[in-house]
Structure 1
């Protein structure tokens, strides 16, 4: 980690260890108790809220269970960026977002969007076999789509299953390259393609308003959990999980920089936590909040994982898009390609906390396991 990053994180930790800004909808200002801790009036009275032990890490601490969506990409895979341009240029991230083209409605984005010029060549990220070509034009959501199957040198363990197959998908293409066209005309033909051959030209076919590549990675199967639910007798229904994962884990190297804790607020019976990442590394994945009683027994736990859909209902697109999970509301910031940071606010319903002292343990990580953990002391 760079010296600048260490200084930033050190100062960030000291800041949160010393000062916490607490706001409530019904109050214009915060007070302090006799010990100098920030306080907040709530329906249950004044509650001191003191964050402690803010630590940044590169591996999940032992007290937190590792996400079932965490997996390791085989070393030396050397996947390329699908366009010849800066690989840190994306216009929409994986996971919960506000869909700008539809009045900023909540949407769970199962890929990333990479902006570019009309007709710009799109390349396979790895050698593979053209699995499927769909000439959707303007009549389908993804428009012209190519899916490529890749065989990995080592298995990936995802949801407890070993898989050596991944599928990369390239959507909204303006046209197809030579091999994709050949596969379109000969659906049964086995056609191999390499990373230096063109999949197609970047475009805006399908349901979209600007030129970009919608890019996805799916593990083991191309079937979404929604399809598996609707088709229980299909071969892919035995997987039982949604195969879409954050493509950045395959396309970029681990930079060692996880999400940052921006703010914590107690507002009535909600605890609002805002975390952020560099917008060019929009790899936020896993957040856990545990509530412990006076005897340090866990009385409530929230687990939200984007890769594994922990906390989500992925059985339908409508349910997956809903930002209101069980006891948690997700509020992502607008994502723009020129934004300096991308943030997510988690609003946890903690209605019982004003009735009993409690300790809150909080963790947030990216797809590689980089992140932070901290504690909040809450009581009568």
Structure 2
């Protein structure tokens, strides 16, 4: 208006939405910058491919494994960049790489272990990203588990060495066969119901249990327990190696939920059976037979003719047997202190009845 007379038309437009988009774009830019910095802090390697397996994103750890200082892998084929790392050439790597399978099936591939040519071990996961019924990206996550695999191999080697030494100690190959034929079960205890769920089967579990018994006995020996009056090392070792020869186990499967109080044979029964078996061997002393026969009895349940001089060894046998059971079946953690004739044990066990100091 000019002097109250119209002189033209001015169009007015609401630009709130445009401002919001600009703000959103600014937020997204900031978000992506921060997100990249966050992802670069992760110890895992992250690589994102498009559906043609070209690299479109990677974090700092991806460059570190390739020993590249400059970000020069964007847009390149995944197998060309990583092929020489995990194989003699990219063609060999391509034969093992499941990226094609992920593209075809839109299904992830998880926990695939792969070794570099320098001997490092990685666990690799491939995840398809599907949007609006179309495969957009493949996210590859790699984690270095070399230290873990080395530790597992060391443990396996130590177990094999101990097993070979143990076989030399056994008075009879028949005892070895008996022990290896008896399985043990790892389980998860339900605090509310008192039931357990079988999570792993150990086919030669009783054999491993006896080896763990001897490991615990060896540790206690270093702390002086076998210097205690009334404890004979040879008798204890023979009792430990033969105390479960007559054990009978039910046939269970992973996933079974059972009541351990009713499913497994009572300890006194298999103790008696074990004593019967080893009594047939002429090299087993009567002291060992007594210890094996009554190693599941409370002291007030022992017969009147049980030799009182065997009580220190019976207590030691029962302690080692119980600790080894937790070690074998529950992966419990143990630490102990010997103070004269007293043994103080701290057991970290998932089962509340066995967890704590004893």
TM-score scaled by length of structure 1:
0.24
* Structure index of larger Rg: 2
Q: Identify, as 1 or 2, the structure richer in helix.
A: 2
Specify which structure has the higher proportion of strand.
1
